[in-house]
A and B are shown apart, each in its own frame.
Chain A
Amino acid sequence: MAFDPAKYRATVLAPLAKDKARTEALQQVIRDLQGAAGLAAVARLDMVTLFAVEPSMSAADLANHLERLVAAFNKNKNLASAQLLKRLVELIGKAGGKVSDPSFWANLAAARQGVLRAQLDDLAQELAQEFSLKVITPEQVAEQVASAGLGAQAEGPLQAALAKHGVNVRPDFELPKVTVPAPLRKVVEFPEFRTVVDVITRPKRLEDIAVVDELSYGSPARRLEPSDVAAAKLRLQQQEAQVEERARHAAQNALAALTQYTSPAGLHAVTLALLADTVRDLLGRGRSRLTVRNELMRRGVREVDAARLVAKLASSTQVLRSADVADRLAAGALAEARRLFDALPAPDGADASERAAVEATLVTAEKKKATFQSQYDAAMATRNYAAAATALRGALTVDTADEDLRRRLTALPPLPPLTLSLRVEGRALDVTWPGGEEGSRYSVVRTLGAVPVHHSDGEVLAGNLTTTRHRDPRPPVGRQVRYAVFVTRDGVSYSDPVTATAVVLPAPTALRADAQADAVSLSWSTPPEAAGVVVTQTALDGAQQALRPTTPGQLSVTGLALGTRYLFSVRAVYLLPGGERRESAATEADVTPRGVIRPVDDLRLETATDAGYQASWSPVAGYGVELWALPVTAQVTTGARLSFTALESQGGRRLALRPAQAAGGRTARTLDPMPDVRLLAPVTVDGDGGLVGPSTVIGNVPSVRRPAADRFGSELRLSWEWPRGDYLVEVRWSVGGGPRVQRVSRAGYDQDGGVRLADAEAVSDVTVATVVRAGSREWLSPAAVVPVPGGGTPRVGYSLAVRRSAFRGLGSVTVTIEPGPFRGTVAALVVLREAKFPPGSPANGTVVERRVVNLATGEPVSFTLDLGKVASPFWIRLFPDAGSDVRFADPPTSDMRG
């Protein structure tokens, strides 16, 4: 079956990673494997399952399987189980385990069985000691198997091992939820009747009675049935004299009660319920579990059922002690503590002092509660609800379970908020108060002076508020106003009010200041309740001057200094009832008298002595002017107002200006030289931006650097270092006297590997210049002259006709020298090389001819040479002789080869 990585992850790796016990077992095996135990340690693991090995796998299958396993481990390296298994398989290999050998796995499986048996036997022995009642449930077996790091398949063998150690595995059971009739409880108090069964079977006293799964006895099992009850009644009537009278009456009553159970199951249920109560009682009295089991056995209950019943109830039944009373007291459950204390069995010896201490604590707590209750009564008598609530809360800390205290606390009227804050916000007023207990609702009442006596005494601004804030949008102006807040829980009972007063004096609004060159016009608004305003003018030196406007809502202030900042504050004046004069808070504006803002429209630029520039312009009264440098492509409209952020977003930067000698009333500044071409814009500053004046282009277009021209055959390759930025480069050259021009972009340059000009020998006068374009305008850098490698040494062509006779191997060559444009005499060396490649230099072959050729006439010159016997392949190549200042252009090598 093919290995399925996803299934392996789902069935092995993921469950193993989640199973802490099995993971620890695996880790222990890895440790032991590296220790003295060696490979034997591996047998403790279910290796076949862990590695998904199948018995039918051959060596090749195993090798392939393990390779895929390792891949699966690598893929699931986030799982600890995968890492551990990978480590395990590596260690097995190091320890000499042949994991690709099928016999290794077969031996491992056999060894595994022996180890598993020993492990289970040890575990069963330990469990036999742990479970002294010698009974255990299958669920507990499974739990023990899992905690021991064994697989689920080990549960069966463990049960068998437990049986050897006398431990019975029995399923858990439910205790019947039936009410046990009082006569049945009564009858077992008589020594004649150990259990209800004795009442039914009297005079027989049965032993080995099964009570858990069914009510039966003997072997084969005989179930007790309702008919047995009827028979018992009859026997009791017939044998009255044999039973003590009180016991007989109790038995008669019990049998009468049993007659209501008309099925064996009902009879079984009530019997088991009564036995369970007995067990609870015994365990509650601190008897040991074995003692209780033995007691049940003495009452005729089968041993295993007695053990099951005790084991079932032992975990849920506690013996109550004095410490439990102390716990209840600490938890504030006073009444329960008292009940528990009264129910405690009589102390025996050592417990007596503990009981006395607990009793003292209990009494103290009860006294404390009584004190609080007295305080509450006293507070209620004086309608001091706050004190009453405090007393009730105190009592509740002692006895938290006293619902009466809680009810009385709830019934108290709520307490008012501790404080009330009023804050005037313009024309409105905010009322805020701290929140009270959960579920409180609030009413806000406004009055003019008097404190409201209840929640509707005055102008109710809001009711049933769940928030602790209210805004009064139109409070009375110029009057003392009282605000009160009432609290209620139920809308019926309200707290006393918390109150505060305020006088609302709104400040003037809509203050506006318009500056002229030497004056300021102020305007504002005031509420109709205002009697007037007071305007205060504060100069830079702190001098103040009170101004009295003659026209309501406006004032013109003259005689101010141009460019000086002034602060104007305006306060509204109110006349309160009774004639008191009050001023509102001030509304302020600061203003600088200055001329009308305008852009700089007469910027002049001149070259300064330090290669920088001197800029000058007519000053704008009351405004500063900055110069900004922007890319030439930036869009700035003359006269437009642009923020500094907008200028920066276009790549602009504010220039550093230095003072310069001014003339003719103009402002003059110097600025540094520009590294490239920039748009210079004057900005008349107004707040966070300004008006932009006509811009000017300044600076230099950066030139290309290190231009070079290299010839490659008939091509001339131009290359250079590009300046930083987005530029074009204009290349100009001449071909035969005719001018040529080409513009290249950086992308085109990169694509073509430079600029390549054809007909290289005819190219001259090469220049390159950087081009900056902005819309339809453009600027060029100074042209850089590119030195063109000249023709240099004159070139002379030649052709060859190389021959070799097939039979004798005699070679010959006819050389034709073609002068081209060269005129003069050439000293040529004819070099022969018998090799795979042509000669690279005269020294690389044999000079077979030295010949001086006169090419003055421009006509080709031919000559033929006999080469003698030559080996194939051989090559003929011409080289200029020393002193001959020409170079030979070789023909195709196919012509040079013979």
Chain B
Amino acid sequence: MKLFNPATPCPYCYTAINPHRLAYRCSGRHAAGREQCLKTPDQARITHFNDSDPYWPVIMPTGSASARCPRCDAAPGPPMCPECHSLLPAEYGSDSALIGLVGVRQSGKTVMLSVLDYELQNAVADRFDATIDAPGGRSELARNLRIYRDIMLKTDGQLPQQTAVNNSSAAIAKKDPAVYAWRYSRKMAIGISRTHSTVFSFYDNAGEDFATPDKAMSQLYLGAASGVILLLDPFGFPANRGRADARGASLPETGPEAVLDAITLVLRTAKRVKRNGRIKEPIAVVISKIDAFFDDIPPDHPVRRPSSSRPFFDETESRTVHDHIGAMVEQWGGGSLIRKLDNNYASFRLFGASALGAEPEYSSGRVSSRGLLPHRVAEPLLWLMATRNFIPMTGA
């Protein structure tokens, strides 16, 4: 079906667009004898991102990379989304992914994204000998993630503030996601290397946005997501309340099952899943703040083992962690959550991760004075990329 309808979500506005029929702007390099076009505010940019900067005019009709500007006969500029007029990275194609990062309030989504942003461009890029960067640098979220990490690394180590709530569907469109382009050379069977590239983007929402199914339904971008990373606060499980109290950590207002219910409703609706069917999009369920349980986990336990540094995704290791985390979740009183995942999702995987790597000062909201010591932060994303066959997998 994809062969005939290759619509892929735009990494910026999530509108399903045909990668073969993109829009182009006039490059401004007018032909001899023609008057140069004028830059004017672009209504699409204003509508989607409140961006009132002047731009070269869009070449109409859209869809042809060879069309020249009808006014000044200039060659077209780089491709862009025909809906929101965002410049698309060269890596954008039909395999590009939009990944939703969702979780309850205070589950650590923004911290996780900040650390993941750095890990992607360093440890993960080293591991896969890849180039992973945020193209354009215009994204407010991508820029903020770097700022958050810098602040956390300073002496006072302040954790980021709570992400603002989106109260309207219009407001959603004003927040642009963190977009990444991944390009690397993949070794093929007979020693041939082939360049693989893709684009994926994260959208950071406020935890309150998933507090109820009604609010979650307004998170339209999830309908375009090709994978979801669900962050669960371990202190939200019944058996861990005492541990949270003892540490002075605040308890999440929304339980893990409630947020899962909300996301499931959104995905079932958006993906038009049949009553007895299961959601095909993979969901990586991450138990965040796992460092709070290191005291109870032996050093050589799979959950405490560091991420592999080998250039492929180890499915056996991942399954082992999945099984152990599943056992832990069941012991914490999350059996119902597991059953819901099992019955609603064709593919889900459990992870244990910690963006901070050491328990913060819960009362003051500061990072451990030893700094950021992230643990297995990139594994959920790598699993999603492996399920899309973008990175090689072993042990499957």
Q: Chain A interface (Cβ within 8 Å of chain B)?
A: 5-6, 71, 75, 705-706, 708, 710-715, 717, 719-722, 724, 749-751, 753-754, 756, 760, 789, 795, 835-841, 844, 887, 889-890, 892-894, 896-897
Q: Among residues 96 to 153 in chain B, which have CB atoms less than 8 Å away from a CB atom of chain A?
A: 122, 153
Q: Is the interface of A mostly helix, strand, loop or mixed?
A: mixed
Q: Which residues of B contact A5 (CB under 8 A)?
A: 43
Q: Which residues of B contact A838 (CB under 8 A)?
A: 323-324, 327
Identify which of B298, B324, B327, B342 gathers the most chain A CB atoms within 10 Å of its CB: B327
Q: Which residues of B contact A893 (CB under 8 A)?
A: 302, 319-320, 322-324
Q: Which residue of B lies closest to A6 (CB)?
A: B40
Q: Specify which of A706, A710, A712, A751 is in contact with B305 (CB 8 Å cutoff).
A: A712
The docked-state distance in angstroms from the alpha carbon of A894 to that of B302 is 13
Per-position 1/0 for B326-360, Cβ under 8 A of A: 11111100000010001000000000000001100
Could you tell me the distance in whole angstroms from the C-beta of A799 to the nearest C-beta in chain B? 14
Do A753 and B331 touch (CB < 8 A)? no
Q: Which residues of A contact B40 (CB under 8 A)?
A: 6
The docked-state distance in angstroms from the alpha carbon of A756 to that of B304 is 14
Do B324 and A715 touch (CB < 8 A)? no
Q: Among residues 259 to 318 in chain B, which have CB atoms less than 8 Å away from a CB atom of chain A?
A: 294, 298-302, 304-306, 316-317
Q: Which residues of A contact B371 (CB under 8 A)?
A: 719, 722, 749-750, 753-754
Do A894 and B319 touch (CB < 8 A)? yes
Q: Specify which of B153, B300, B302 is in contact with A750 (CB 8 Å cutoff).
A: B153
Could you tell me the distance in whole angstroms from the C-beta of A724 to the nearest C-beta in chain B? 7
Q: A713-B299, A841-B331 are in contact. List 19 more A-B contacts (CB 8 A).
A: A711-B299, A711-B300, A711-B304, A712-B299, A713-B300, A713-B305, A714-B305, A719-B358, A724-B155, A749-B371, A753-B357, A753-B372, A753-B375, A756-B306, A837-B324, A837-B338, A838-B327, A893-B320, A894-B320
Do A760 and B331 touch (CB < 8 A)? no
The docked-state distance in angstroms from the alpha carbon of A835 to that of B299 is 26
Could you tell me the distance in whole angstroms from the C-beta of B155 to the nearest C-beta in chain A? 7
Do A754 and B319 touch (CB < 8 A)? no
Could you tell me the distance in whole angstroms from the C-beta of B220 to the nearest C-beta in chain A? 18
The docked-state distance in angstroms from the alpha carbon of A706 to that of B369 is 9
Could you tell me the distance in whole angstroms from the C-beta of B113 to the nearest C-beta in chain A? 16
Do B305 and A840 touch (CB < 8 A)? no
Do B331 and A889 touch (CB < 8 A)? no
Could you tell me the distance in whole angstroms from the C-beta of B339 to the nearest C-beta in chain A? 8
Q: Which residue of A lies closest to B305 (CB)?
A: A713
Do B320 and A719 touch (CB < 8 A)? no
The docked-state distance in angstroms from the alpha carbon of A5 to that of B46 is 12
CB-based closest 10 A-B pairs: A713-B305, A711-B299, A837-B326, A893-B323, A719-B370, A840-B327, A837-B327, A753-B373, A840-B331, A721-B369
Q: How many A-B pairs fall under 8 Å by CB?
A: 100
Do B370 and A721 touch (CB < 8 A)? yes
A-B contact pairs, 10 of them (CB 8 A): A71-B47, A713-B300, A713-B306, A795-B300, A836-B338, A837-B327, A838-B324, A890-B302, A893-B320, A893-B324
Do B320 and A715 touch (CB < 8 A)? no
Q: Which residues of A contact B374 (CB under 8 A)?
A: 753
Q: Which residues of B contact A890 (CB under 8 A)?
A: 301-302
The docked-state distance in angstroms from the alpha carbon of A529 to that of B102 is 97
Q: Which residue of A lies closest to B338 (CB)?
A: A836
Do B328 and A840 touch (CB < 8 A)? yes
The docked-state distance in angstroms from the alpha carbon of A751 to that of B153 is 11
The docked-state distance in angstroms from the alpha carbon of A75 to that of B41 is 11
Q: Is the interface of B mostly helix, strand, loop or mixed?
A: helix
Do A789 and B331 touch (CB < 8 A)? no
Do A839 and B358 touch (CB < 8 A)? no
Do A840 and B330 touch (CB < 8 A)? yes
Q: Which residues of B contact A841 (CB under 8 A)?
A: 331
Do B326 and A754 touch (CB < 8 A)? no
The docked-state distance in angstroms from the alpha carbon of A892 to that of B294 is 20
Q: Which residues of A contact B327 (CB under 8 A)?
A: 837-840, 844
Q: Which residue of B lies closest to A835 (CB)?
A: B330
Q: Specify which of A712, A751, A892 is in contact with B304 (CB 8 Å cutoff).
A: A712
Q: Which residue of B lies closest to A875 (CB)?
A: B323
Q: Which residue of A lies closest to B356 (CB)?
A: A753
Do A712 and B375 touch (CB < 8 A)? yes
Q: In the complex where A721-B369, A750-B153, A837-B330 touch, is A713 in contact with B304 (Cβ < 8 A)?
A: yes
Q: Specify which of B298, B304, B306, B328 is in contact with A887 (CB 8 Å cutoff).
A: B298
Q: Which residues of B contact A896 (CB under 8 A)?
A: 323
Q: Among residues 173 to 210 in chain B, which have CB atoms less than 8 Å away from a CB atom of chain A?
A: none
Q: Which residues of A contact B122 (CB under 8 A)?
A: 751
The docked-state distance in angstroms from the alpha carbon of A712 to that of B326 is 20
The docked-state distance in angstroms from the alpha carbon of A720 to that of B299 is 19
Q: Which residue of B lies closest to A789 (CB)?
A: B299
Do B306 and A710 touch (CB < 8 A)? no
Q: Which residues of A contact B299 (CB under 8 A)?
A: 710-713, 760, 789
Q: Specify which of A714, A720, A839 is in contact with B370 (CB 8 Å cutoff).
A: A720
Could you tell me the distance in whole angstroms from the C-beta of A180 to the nearest C-beta in chain B? 60
Per-position 1/0 for B13-30, Cβ under 8 A of A: 000000000000000000
Identify which of A750, A837, A890 gathers the most chain B CB atoms within 10 Å of its CB: A837
Do A715 and B326 touch (CB < 8 A)? no
Q: Which residue of A lies closest to B315 (CB)?
A: A894
Could you tell me the distance in whole angstroms from the C-beta of B343 to the nearest C-beta in chain A? 11
Identify which of B40, B47, B294, B298 gathers the most chain A CB atoms within 10 Å of its CB: B298
The docked-state distance in angstroms from the alpha carbon of A896 to that of B319 is 12
Q: Specify which of A715, A719, A754, A836 is in contact with B342 (CB 8 Å cutoff).
A: A836
Q: Which residues of A contact B320 (CB under 8 A)?
A: 892-894
The docked-state distance in angstroms from the alpha carbon of A760 to that of B299 is 10
Could you tell me the distance in whole angstroms from the C-beta of A170 to the nearest C-beta in chain B? 47
Q: In the complex where A719-B358, A840-B328, A894-B316 touch, is A754 in contact with B370 (Cβ < 8 A)?
A: yes
Q: Which residue of A lies closest to B153 (CB)?
A: A750
Could you tell me the distance in whole angstroms from the C-beta of A536 to the nearest C-beta in chain B? 63
Q: Which residues of B contact A715 (CB under 8 A)?
A: 306
Identify which of A720, A795, A894 gathers the most chain B CB atoms within 10 Å of its CB: A894
Could you tell me the distance in whole angstroms from the C-beta of A831 to the nearest C-beta in chain B? 11
Identify which of B52, B300, B331 gathers the most chain A CB atoms within 10 Å of its CB: B300
Do B372 and A836 touch (CB < 8 A)? no
The docked-state distance in angstroms from the alpha carbon of A224 to that of B271 is 94
Q: Which residues of A contact B301 (CB under 8 A)?
A: 890
Q: Which residues of B contact A836 (CB under 8 A)?
A: 326, 338, 342
Q: Which residues of A contact B52 (CB under 8 A)?
A: 75
Q: In the complex where A840-B327, A890-B302 touch, is A754 in contact with B373 (Cβ < 8 A)?
A: yes
